[in-house]
Structure 1
Amino acid sequence: MHDLVVSPFLDGYLTVRPGSTTCVRLPAKHYEEVRQSANTSSLVPHWLVGLAQQAWALDLRGQRSETALLVRERTELGFARASWEINLYCNFGCKHCYLGERPLAGLSWEQKVKLIDIFRDSGVLWLQITGGEPTVDPHFEGAYRYAYRQGMMLTVSTNASRLWKPEILRLFRDLPPYRVVVSMYGASEAAFDELTQRRGAWKAFQRGMAAARNASLPLRVSIVVTEDNAHEVDAMKALVEDWGLDHHVYTNMQPTFSGAGDPLLVQSTEFLRKRPVFQGCNAGVTFYHADPHAMVSICKIGRDDQIDLMAEGIHGLRRLGEISDRLMLRTGGCSGCSLSGSCRVCRPLAKVYQEAKAPLRTYCQHGDKEMVHS
């Protein structure tokens, strides 16, 4: 299996190593040199040998390019990242989940291969595999292996409950992920099981995290704060810090992407944060999102005007830029707003809140007074 991936990326070229967060930019002439020698018996160029040693302490002396390197071809579309809900099903039933219904359903194996090929051919270098709980999908291991072989840097978003399983540990040992992002829902059995609505969830989480830490997986923890576990915020932080892991505290819940407000009911008002001013994003321009049936949208939130990749193929992605421009326009309840220049949410997210009839204080500056007096 390849040691390094050499790939176009946006307007340049990168060298990356699976399992490492270090990446190195390359000039076009170096990319072209490696591309031309990738499928030959030529040795890895001396400059790349030196770069690999310096960046990753990786010794490629005497290694042949065709075995040590995976070189990705230029693509016309030039997307950089994508996220993929491989399956919405989850073995937890979290109160705050924005997915709404979570059926066990998705693409066939052949269709998953076709979708991963489209990811590759559209330029995707970083791919996030999420769910639901992605590891419960019957094709998770095969899909992960196939995407890895296409030279993608893989992030897996998980609840950690299955990270102790030997087949998953073996998979991540043999084919290192770029990152494993774990959601944490409490620091005690009572709070964790209450929020996830699953008896035994805390024990499964602890077992999975212990196995993942022992395997030195590249873990990052998302601490989710709701009314059920708000009293344990400091304890959750302390536990993650004791593990020596990076973490992010997630406090602002959002409605389901279909516009149901149930997740907002468990939000901790004490920890509700004022979002920074929204300054635009590249949704639908440099990245996109695919649901379990290969229905593609500009992101996880803006799911209007989805593109059926199984029907349209890669050419359907050409419409994403136009869709993004349209979805980002301030329309509906936001049109003509005097505060739109300093709005804290994008238009697709505002629309989801509006459809859920959410209180203004949860997403809009016009609710700031409401927040102060609540």
Structure 2
Amino acid sequence: MHQLVATPFGGRRLILRPGSTKAVQLPHTKFDELRTLAAVPNTVPKWLVDAVLAQWHLDLAGQSAGEVILFRDAGPYAVSRATWEINLGCDYDCPLCYLGKKQFEGLDMAGKRRLLAVMRDAGVIWLQITGGEPLIDPDFPEAYRLAHELGMLVEILSNGSRLHKDHVLNLLRTYPPSKLTLSMYGATADTYDTVTRRKGAFTRFRAGLTNAVAAGLNIDLSLIIVRENEHEVEAMRDWARQLRVPFREYANISPTLHGGAEPLPSQSPQYLTNRAPFTGCPAGHTFFHADPFGKASICKVGREPNVDLIAEGVEGLARLGGIAESLMLLTGGCSGCKLSGTCRVCRPMARVFQDAKAPLANYCQHGMR
């Protein structure tokens, strides 16, 4: 099993380590030298041994370069990142969820293998697997291992409900994610179970989080702040601090992907924040989103038009740049706005809020006046 991934990234040449967000940048000449050394039986050169030891405290002295380093080829486009909803099913029933109706459906394992191969060939280096809840998908272990074997560095977005299970934790110990981002919905059982509408959810989450921290996984917490847990925000912060785990706070709730307003009443008004002005986005150019059926879109919000990666393969991604430009130009009711230059949401997100008939203050500067 490889311990390092060597890959082009734009004009740079990188050495990456699964389970880490760090990198070693190489001159092109050293990268080419390393590829040549790895093609025939050779040990890892001393200059790389020293660099890897300094960056990750990993000693590769005397080991075969071809066995410990997986080489990636550049893709045909500028794409380097992708997110993948392995499914939309979830074992929670949070009223704040942007997915709306959560149906457990998607590609079979053969389709998942095809999709991951297309992503690899497209040049995806960093892959975020999400859902729904990805860890409840029966194909997750095989798909996750395959993404690792193909040389992708994987981040997992999860509610953490399955981390208390030994087979899940053992999988992540063996193939560490570059980041494990876990959503936190409260600091007590009463509050957590109320937000998720699942009895026992807090107990399972707490056990899984404790196990994941003890396993040394790279964890990042997302503190989801809503009306039902706003009284426990400081307790949630304290919990994260005690675990010495980084955290971010999310209080701005969005409509469903289909323009439904159902999640909006969950917002806690006192914790809403002003989004920074939208100044551009790499969606559709260096990044894309794939849904459970392998349909690639510029992001999880701007899902139409899309590209069927299972049917079209890598070549279909050539259209995403044009799709992104067209979606960003569609104002959907904002034409002639004198404040559009400092708008705080992108055009696809503005359309979702408009479809939900949300109050202007949720997404538009005019509603703040």
Structure 2 residue 310 is matched with structure 1 residue 347:
no
CA contact (8 A) 1:92 1:198 kept: yes
SS of the residue aligned with 1:182?
Answer: strand
Within 5 A, what are the aligned runs for 1:1-374? 1-369=1-369
CA contact (8 A) 1:302 1:327 kept: yes
Q: Distance in 2 between matches of 1:39 and 1:141?
A: 30
SS of the residue aligned with 1:338?
Answer: coil
Unaligned runs of 5+ in 2: none
SS of the residue aligned with 2:227?
Answer: coil
SS of the residue aligned with 1:334?
Answer: coil
Q: Distance in 2 between matches of 1:37 and 1:75?
A: 22
SS of the residue aligned with 2:333?
Answer: helix
Q: Could you list the per-position Cα deviations for residues 101-160 of structure 1 after superposition, in whole angstroms to 9, with x for gaps in the alignment?
A: 111111111110110011111111110000011011110000000000111111011111
Unaligned runs of 5+ in 1: 370-374
Structure 1 residue 330, shift from structure 2 partner: 4.3
Q: Could you list the per-position Cα deviations for residues 84-115 of structure 1 after superposition, in whole angstroms to 9, with x for gaps in the alignment?
A: 00010000011111011111111111110110
* Greater CA drift, 253-262 or 29-38: 29-38
SS of the residue aligned with 2:228?
Answer: coil
Structure 1 residue 39, shift from structure 2 partner: 3.1
SS of the residue aligned with 2:263?
Answer: helix
Residue identity in the other structure for 1:357: K
Q: Distance in 2 between matches of 1:122 and 1:351?
A: 29
Structure 1 residue 47, shift from structure 2 partner: 1.6
Q: Distance in 2 between matches of 1:112 and 1:157?
A: 18
Q: Could you list the per-position Cα deviations for residues 28-49 of structure 1 after superposition, in whole angstroms to 9, with x for gaps in the alignment?
A: 2122222233332122222211
Residue identity in the other structure for 2:215: A
Residue identity in the other structure for 1:262: E
Q: Distance in 2 between matches of 1:35 and 1:281?
A: 34
CA contact (8 A) 1:10 1:79 kept: no
Residue identity in the other structure for 2:255: P
Q: Could you list the per-position Cα deviations for residues 291-349 of structure 1 after superposition, in whole angstroms to 9, with x for gaps in the alignment?
A: 10001110111111011111111111110000000001142211211000111011111
CA contact (8 A) 1:38 1:70 kept: no
Q: Distance in 1 between matches of 2:236 and 2:217?
A: 20
Residue identity in the other structure for 2:119: F
CA contact (8 A) 2:164 2:205 kept: no
Q: Distance in 1 between matches of 2:90 and 2:20?
A: 28
SS of the residue aligned with 2:6?
Answer: strand
SS of the residue aligned with 1:83?
Answer: strand
Residue identity in the other structure for 2:318: R
Residue identity in the other structure for 1:140: F
Q: Percent identity?
A: 47
Residue identity in the other structure for 1:126: W
Alpha carbons of 1:335 and 1:38: their partners in 2 closer, same or farther (altered >3 Å)? Answer: farther
CA contact (8 A) 1:78 1:124 kept: no
Residue identity in the other structure for 1:211: N
CA contact (8 A) 2:24 2:52 kept: no
Q: CA RMSD in A?
A: 1.0
SS of the residue aligned with 2:223?
Answer: strand
Q: Distance in 2 between matches of 1:6 and 1:95?
A: 43
Residue identity in the other structure for 1:233: V
Structure 1 residue 236, shift from structure 2 partner: 0.6
Residue identity in the other structure for 1:324: A
Q: Distance in 1 between matches of 2:56 and 2:257?
A: 40
SS of the residue aligned with 1:48?
Answer: helix
SS of the residue aligned with 1:66?
Answer: helix
Q: Distance in 2 between matches of 1:164 and 1:232?
A: 23
Residue identity in the other structure for 2:66: E
Q: How many residue pairs were aligned?
A: 369
Q: Distance in 2 between matches of 1:30 and 1:191?
A: 55
Structure 1 residue 189, shift from structure 2 partner: 1.2
Task: Normalising by structure 2, report the TM-score.
Answer: 0.98
